[in-house]
Amino acid sequence: MTSELLDRALVEEATKKSGLVWVRGAGAPAARALWHAWHDGAVCLVGDGPGEQPLPGLADGGSAEVTVRSKDKGGRLVTWTATVSELPAGSAEWEAAVTELKGKRLNAADGEAMTGRWSRECRVLRLTPTGATAALPEGPLAAPPLPTSATTRRPVPAALPRLLAKRRKRS
């Protein structure tokens, strides 16, 4: 009983303090970093809409594996399993979750109108801990980053060092 209480306390405190959690839904090839809000004993996520984070492999009634990192050191603190439930837009649970998520959402282009957009175009999910935590792995689990169109890895243009040197001389 004491071990269960300690595990639950660890999951809650670590998840509350972390800005990102790594989530791998059932059938997803890899875990994905997602921003979240901790509300009423569960992780709340918003995504799968234009301009929002993708939520691959997370389906209503499914399960997920959540890994929480340390906010200051970035290392893995705990990995726990969760049941996934989709909150119906406009419900009391949805409104409470969205109120928490709205405060955590950074750089939203539509400001106060984002909750209306979330209700029309996005999914709000609740990941409730099942109580099971996984043992920390022995070795490193480093993996290459997932492919994205946002990556721009090109060589520095040949003229750039000269242009920067001219700017310094003018100052």
Is 129 domain-assigned?
yes
CATH code, domain carrying 89: 2.30.110.10
Is 161 domain-assigned?
no
**CB-facing half-sphere around the CA of 162: CA atoms within 13 A:** 3
Q: What is the Cα–Cα distance from 17 to 123, expressed in whole angstroms?
A: 23
Is 149 domain-assigned?
no
**Residue 60 main-chain phi, psi, to 5 deg:** -55, 125
pTM (predicted TM-score): 0.77
Which ranges constitute the DSSP H helices of 59-159?
A: 92-104, 114-121
pLDDT digits (tens, 9 = 90+) for 68-113: 988 888 788 899 999 999 999 999 999 999 999 998 888 877 877 8
Is 155 domain-assigned?
no
Query: How many structural domains is the chain composed of?
Result: 1
Q: What is the Cα–Cα distance from 136 to 88, expressed in whole angstroms?
A: 35
| Positions of the chain with pLDDT under 50 | none
pLDDT at 82: 95
Average pLDDT, the chain: 87
Q: What is the Cα–Cα distance from 87 to 89, expressed in whole angstroms?
A: 6
Is 67 domain-assigned?
yes
Domain that holds residue 75: 2-137
pLDDT at 89: 94
